[in-house]
Amino acid sequence: MHRARISATFDPMKLTVMIYDNEDTVVSRRAAFERVESDLGLLDNMKLPHVYSGLDRDGLYLEGVRRARAITNDMITHGHNHFQWLNERYQIGNTSPFGMNFLMFRRTIELQGTPAQQRYWLPRIDQMKINGAYAQTELAHGTFVRGIETTATFDVNTDTFTIDSPTPTSIKYWPGGLGFSCSHAVVAARLIIQGKDHGVHMFIVQIRSLQNFKPVNGVELGDLGMKMAYNGTCNGYARFNFLRVPRSSLLAGHAQVLRDGTYTSVQTQKDAPPLSKMVYSTMLDTRRNIVRCVAFGLSQGLTIAARYSTVREQGKPMFSNGKNEEAAIIAYKSQHYRLLTHIAQSYAILFAAKDYDLKYAQLIRDQANNNHSQLSFMHALSTGLKAWATTVANTGATEARKMCGGHGFVALSGLPEIEGTVSATATFEGENYVLWQQLMAYLFKQVEAPCRGQEVDIEVKEFIEGVRACLDADMPAYSDPDHSQDKLFDDFYLLSIYEKRAQRLLVAAFKSYTTMRHSLSVATAWNNCMISTLSAGQAYIEYIVLRSFTERASSIAARESGLSLVLSRLSRLFALTNIITPVLSFSAGSFVEHGLFAPGQLDEMRVHINELLEQLLPDVIALTDAWDFTDASLCSALGCKDGNVYERLMSWTRQLPANNGQTVEKAWRAPDGIEEFLRASRL
């Protein structure tokens, strides 16, 4: 491990600073991790981590509470937010029973509450005097929010709303922290006034007493039991039975119910501030954070896989001399390829997230000046980036587990938990296949804009001009006579190929849709051409992601040539492997199909990929060390920094409570146990 570490061609600390934006943040994060891991008793990495000590549903949840207390306490005492989106295990914040308080509960009040509501609630949230959940999803409705059935009926006589779950399918089901941990929740319910349904609105509701911790009268609460991951929190259910809450429970920043039952909303108020647009940006904020979080989740899996692949020796290359020593598994080209391909993807996700963050900061500044012109684009980009990044991270996390063979499958490797945690991100905060369609609806609108005499959004103007040119020329077969090898492997040339491919797939999807529109309804045409729209959406995002990666690598050239070279190799590896072995399969083959490469050139790419793999091999450990994960945060017998895999795996295995003798005793000696079974006559 030491040899692999010192073989690096660049200083990983420089990359760490880039990942965390600046050196101060790195130092302050390290200090926070040290304090919290020390408090939680996690610093001895030969000791079996508590989460593996035979904890059942209750135990895992209580361990989640213990950890949530430690990190929240540290954030409040030391005035930082290092554990807000990524907790002490670098898991996304809603894995913690206090996570949703800051992520969605606070954010919803901040954006949808009136100034008075914010003054009342936000300090209580920040000091964790209360703990809030975000209760939207119901048994029968997740993606389709407009289908929500929970009702909030206004009673003008008592000046209250009655929150009710009118059907079994309207029970809230899934919200993080709802089962046991939260005292309050923002509840999505249909607002009904004098029989009129005003659609889904958000209400702050107390669900659990702060005195005796029981659910308040009119609310039934419970936990969903074991999940693939997220077992440190209590994703829960809530059934409301005519629960009365005051009129002030309605988050009234953009819609109000007056004392006499009159309903006003932004749409009905003259000169009202465009609060609904601000609300829209909550979703963008959450999605951009998810994109960043999955880069870390994927990298955790890859850090374990990289360290394990360096020290694990297994067999010899096929047909090699029998006297050779066993090879480290990273020497096998397949392992080497898988590892570096996914490492390249983890950086691709990170840099795309960072670019999105910059754009988001600009959007917020513009919106403060009442300029919302970038909102549609930013919303569309957030949907595509979230869908792409979480899919890629999912595949990569599963591969990281498989790269560690059987040992990767055991919980002690930390990999099943990482895989499960990343996996859920494809589903929440917009299911990926639903999100892709939102991106495509936006891009189609932009393609049509010139025909309607409308301006194309500035951010996509150049891209759409290329699309329109293809459409107007009826998309002639693309051929570039100058496909010399030098040019083929130039980073910016590759980027231009990605752009052309995305444009051509968009043209194909748009044509297929408009042709179907002649004979079918909008809905049927849209549904029927979904697979070609998915290809186009994915190709567009892959172009945007590659652009971030390429520009990031080239922008540091002057300052840090070692780092720049590594990142440039990595971005090229990302671009080429995505052509040869695409993660997202809907557009597989599209580069060749659209004449952007001749089939023979794929072989040139494979050769160049092999060269890149060789060049990057000395940097594998540095590229994963750079994420700065502590041993405790990886929680993996295979992935500690020292590479001492076997000793630690056996030490942790021996410490498992199941191995203390009592389980075997029960299994053999019980009346219906093994001993009795073996002795019984079965003839």
Ligand X SMILES: Cc1cc2nc3c(=O)[nH]c(=O)nc-3n(C[C@H](O)[C@H](O)[C@H](O)COP(=O)(O)OP(=O)(O)OC[C@H]3O[C@@H](n4cnc5c(N)ncnc54)[C@H](O)[C@@H]3O)c2cc1C
Please give the annotated binding residues for FAD, written as ranges.
137, 176
What is the 8-class DSSP label of residue 460? G
Nearer to ligand X, 362 or 427 (CB): 427
Which one of 68-76, 132-140, 322-330, 498-506 is the stretch in contact with ligand X (CB under 6 A)? 132-140
Does 135 interact with ligand X (rule: CB under 6 A)? yes
Task: Give the binding-site size for ligand X (rule: CB under 6 A).
Answer: 19
Does 586 interact with ligand X (rule: CB under 6 A)? no
Does 489 interact with ligand X (rule: CB under 6 A)? no
User: Contact with ligand X (CB under 6 A): which of 72, 137, 346, 394?
Assistant: 137
Least Cα distance to 425 among 19, 92, 66 occurs for 92
486, 572 Cβ separation under 8 angstroms: no
Contacts with ligand X, 433-462, as mask; x by CB under 6 A: xx----------------------------
CA angle 313–317–319, rounded 5-degree value: 145
Smallest separation, CB 58 to ligand X (Å): 19
Nearer to ligand X, 174 or 629 (CB): 174
Smallest separation, CB 233 to ligand X (Å): 9
Q: Residue 171: helix, strand or coil by DSSP?
A: coil
User: Contact with ligand X (CB under 6 A): which of 49, 93, 176, 236?
Assistant: 176
Nearer to ligand X, 175 or 179 (CB): 175
Nearer to ligand X, 33 or 526 (CB): 526
Question: From its phi and psi, is residue 177 left (phi > 0), alpha (psi between -120 and 50) or beta?
Answer: left
User: Contact with ligand X (CB under 6 A): which of 142, 147, 222, 673?
Assistant: 142
Residue type, 432: N
Which of these is catalytic: 429, 459, 499, 542? 429
Query: Which residues participate in the annotated binding site?
Result: 137, 176
Least Cα distance to 630 among 218, 162, 207, 296 occurs for 296
Nearer to ligand X, 202 or 570 (CB): 202
Smallest separation, CB 100 to ligand X (Å): 5
Question: From its phi and psi, is residue 370 left (phi > 0), alpha (psi between -120 and 50) or beta?
Answer: left
Q: Residue 79: helix, strand or coil by DSSP?
A: coil
Does 526 interact with ligand X (rule: CB under 6 A)? no
Smallest separation, CB 143 to ligand X (Å): 3
Q: Which of residues 230-269 bind ligand X (CB under 6 A)?
A: 230, 235
User: Contact with ligand X (CB under 6 A): which of 109, 424, 488, 637?
Assistant: 424
Task: Establish how many alpha carbons lie within 13 A of residue 216's alpha carbon, considering only the half-sphere containing its beta carbon.
Answer: 17
Q: Please provide residue 89's backbone torsions phi and psi, each rounded to the nearest 5 degrees.
A: -110, 10
Q: Pairing relation of β-strands 160-164 and 243-246?
A: antiparallel
Nearer to ligand X, 20 or 105 (CB): 105
534, 508 Cβ separation under 8 angstroms: no
The rounded distance, in Å, linking the Cα atoms of 674 and 657 is 20
Residue number closest to ligand X, CB atom: 142
Does 531 interact with ligand X (rule: CB under 6 A)? no
**Residue labelled with tokens 């759409």:** 464
Which one of 38-46, 387-395, 428-436, 614-622 is the stretch in contact with ligand X (CB under 6 A)? 428-436
What is the 8-class DSSP label of residue 328? B
The DSSP code sequence of 343-394 is: HHHHHHHHHHHHHHHHHHHHHHHHHHTT--TTHHHHHHHHHHHHHHHHHHHH
Which one of 169-177, 320-328, 367-375, 491-499 is the stretch in contact with ligand X (CB under 6 A)? 169-177
Is 429 an active-site residue? yes
The rounded distance, in Å, linking the Cα atoms of 620 and 337 is 11
What is the 8-class DSSP label of residue 174? -
The rounded distance, in Å, linking the Cα atoms of 282 and 277 is 9
Known catalytic residues are 429
Site for ligand X, rule CB under 6 A: 94, 100, 134-137, 142-143, 174-176, 230, 235, 424, 427-428, 431, 433-434
